[in-house]
A and B are shown apart, each in its own frame.
Chain A
């Protein structure tokens, strides 16, 4: 009996060892690469996306615990195209399975080309220029595009019933494309549109605002630029007080940061936003995302973090699927990512043959008393639009 028991223990131990051994062989550590502007003129937005990427990795490590683990190697591209390329090449040399990150179409262009050459998937939410997907690179993916921002701005202006709109836009690729798209759509609907281009070095917007005020006399002013541009335009508008019913912008405007730093300028201003501020989540994944964000960075997430999270989580899930199918090491990740059809924090995501997410539609938020309230579309709104209203 004793001998039988000893044999049983030995066999059980062996079986357990084999089982554990087999389990250990299946568990894999995946190294992701991230190339982002953490210094230079795009440092703030790069940092925002970086935080979202970190949250995605942290949450993936929890959900795949005991099975797989994920790490991310981040390289600062210093807001320079050449250094973006160098960063991708370094990450490729270090054996990353794919790259998540990138901000600014002018940096993403050459950096994603380097990733394409290295056969690495490059997924981003930081470049909305149409040219990026028109190249048809099989390894390039993005979860947002100009169309989604334009649709949100057009939808809001239409719901407001604006008949005359002045579009004040920065002469960059992404901003010009968006402004022209909004112009085309509004003009087709019989809205009178005035287009006003400005240069990135413009700091005094009073002459431009004066022209809008005296020449266009619009119902609403649509701003397409970046943070510093919005601040300049709103300061000029506050001085000249054009008789408009709304000030509407796009990205980087309806954020907690802007609400905190420029409360006097932001009140009642509209901008694209996936999230209200303070954040209100109901979906379990979104609740976990917000809690993890708070734990890691001691603050509420903003839209940059949300986009960084979504792109990275979709990538991680595709990496796992490709690994399980045995195609990861054979270049199967782009095909696996292209099979994505997920309901995410930014809505449904699928990718077309060029890697673009054609489902992307943004939401519009409005600054109201230090908060950002989602006001468009109706089904995503968590508050009422304060209209007509301007910050002055």
Chain B
């Protein structure tokens, strides 16, 4: 069986488990389902961050900005203008994408300079959300944000509905990431990593491509932020623009393997669920430390992350079997 076919079969099986198995197993357990939703929320941002980092070649420390803008855009549209929640969620993504346009001048910067510039932008957006009190509720934030509606008798405002929505967002984001990676754009972006000057010489519009990746990454993050606002039904600037929305997805993406499409998703599920379900009950006050050690170990022993490590193992075993 070819690797490609095996991968497809694995993906179909994983999606079947996610869409059918998980609801059947945990549909009645609001706590576990709530944790999975929180993990998938981080996964969504992690995929968007990895898309920018891997394809765009830009390390961002400011994805909390897109998350916050997306969540506020959607919440305000739904609360103040009565926009239907699903439409508001997509418009939240559009809002975040538009906010990323303000960051385009930062594309001239590279490496740590770009990372720091985008971090500063995130802080600016947080201040704006705090100061625009009539619209955003200021530092007090917004409480009782409309939840997802009931459609054909199925309540998307409940845990299971939220799970299916965030799962679909993450799956679509990963498919988009994969599609771009396989396209000519993906080839150009990969070439840019090796030498940007050379790709420019052969006519690749590198700045445009990087800008497109930034806008797309912002859109995905904004949609995830909007989902979270309607799911948790609460927002304030500290929460919406919390550095946690940047740090955790980065940790998840690196843990899972940010150069793979599904690595960030696996990483987010692994670090969040293992931390909350396994380490927290054992070490209620120091569980984050164990997670930190685990992350360090992963970086030391498998710098590529969890997914490449999992892939390497069967190869070794098969070699051994052949020998």
Chain A residues with CB under 8 Å of chain B are 38-39, 75-76, 80-83, 85-86, 89-90, 92-93, 106, 109-110, 113, 118, 129, 131-132, 135, 170-173, 176-177, 199-200
A38-B285, A80-B244, A171-B130 known, 15 other contacts, Cβ within 8 Å: A39-B285, A81-B234, A85-B232, A86-B34, A86-B38, A89-B30, A89-B31, A90-B31, A92-B30, A93-B29, A113-B233, A131-B143, A171-B138, A171-B139, A173-B140
Nearest residue (CB) in B for A87 is B31
Q: Which of A93, A131, A170, A172 has a CB less than 8 Å from the CB of B31?
A: A93
Which residues of chain A come closer than 8 Å to B285, judged between CB atoms?
38-39, 76
Which residues of chain B come closer than 8 Å to A135, judged between CB atoms?
143-144
Nearest residue (CB) in A for B276 is A86
Task: A83 to B35: give the CA distance in the assembly, Å.
Answer: 8
Asked whether B238 is an interface residue with its Cβ less than 8 Å from the other chain, the reply is: yes
Contact status A173-B139, CB under 8 Å: yes
Contact status A106-B30, CB under 8 Å: no
Which residues of chain B come closer than 8 Å to A131, judged between CB atoms?
140, 143
Which residues of chain A come closer than 8 Å to B141, judged between CB atoms?
106, 173
Asked whether B284 is an interface residue with its Cβ less than 8 Å from the other chain, the reply is: yes
Q: Which of A86, A92, A109, A172 has a CB less than 8 Å from the CB of B143?
A: A109
Contact status B35-A86, CB under 8 Å: yes
Which residues of chain A come closer than 8 Å to B139, judged between CB atoms?
170-173, 176, 200
Q: Which of B135-158 contact A (CB under 8 A)?
A: 138-141, 143-144
A-B contact count (CB 8 A): 71
Contact status B236-A199, CB under 8 Å: no
> What 1/0 mask marks residues of chain B from 110 to 148 whose CB sits below 8 Å from any chain A CB?
000000000000000001001000000011110110000
Task: A17 to B140: give the CA distance in the assembly, Å.
Answer: 60
User: Separation in Å of the A354 CB from the closest CB of chain B?
Assistant: 14
Which 4 pairs across A and B sit closest by C-beta, in order of nearness? A173-B140, A89-B31, A171-B139, A90-B31
Task: A113 to B145: give the CA distance in the assembly, Å.
Answer: 12
Nearest residue (CB) in B for A129 is B140
Task: A216 to B136: give the CA distance in the assembly, Å.
Answer: 30
Task: A224 to B34: give the CA distance in the assembly, Å.
Answer: 35
User: Separation in Å of the A80 CB from the closest CB of chain B?
Assistant: 8
Asked whether B239 is an interface residue with its Cβ less than 8 Å from the other chain, the reply is: yes
Chain B residues with CB under 8 Å of chain A are 29-31, 34-35, 38, 127, 130, 138-141, 143-144, 232-234, 236, 238-239, 244, 276, 280, 284-285, 288
Identify 16 residue pairs between A and B in the complex whose beta-carbon atoms are under 8 Å apart, listed by A's number: A38-B285, A39-B285, A81-B239, A83-B38, A86-B38, A89-B31, A89-B34, A93-B29, A106-B239, A109-B143, A113-B144, A118-B30, A171-B139, A173-B138, A173-B139, A173-B236
Contact status A110-B233, CB under 8 Å: yes
User: Separation in Å of the B95 CB from the closest CB of chain A?
Assistant: 21
Nearest residue (CB) in A for B147 is A113
Which residues of chain A come closer than 8 Å to B35, judged between CB atoms?
86
Task: A132 to B141: give the CA distance in the assembly, Å.
Answer: 12
Which residues of chain B come closer than 8 Å to A83, judged between CB atoms?
38, 276
User: Separation in Å of the B16 CB from the closest CB of chain A?
Assistant: 26
Which residues of chain A come closer than 8 Å to B280, judged between CB atoms?
76
Which residues of chain B come closer than 8 Å to A171, judged between CB atoms?
130, 138-139
Nearest residue (CB) in B for A175 is B139
Which residues of chain A come closer than 8 Å to B238, judged between CB atoms?
106, 200
Which residues of chain A come closer than 8 Å to B284, judged between CB atoms?
38, 75-76
- Given A38-B285, A86-B276, do A109 and B30 touch, yes or no (CB 8 Å)? no
Nearest residue (CB) in B for A110 is B234
Task: A200 to B138: give the CA distance in the assembly, Å.
Answer: 13
Nearest residue (CB) in B for A118 is B30
Task: A106 to B127: give the CA distance in the assembly, Å.
Answer: 18
Task: A132 to B143: give the CA distance in the assembly, Å.
Answer: 9
Which residues of chain A come closer than 8 Å to B29, judged between CB atoms?
93
Which residues of chain B come closer than 8 Å to A89, judged between CB atoms?
30-31, 34
User: Separation in Å of the B235 CB from the closest CB of chain A?
Assistant: 9
Q: Which of A93, A113, A170 has a CB less than 8 Å from the CB of B30?
A: A93
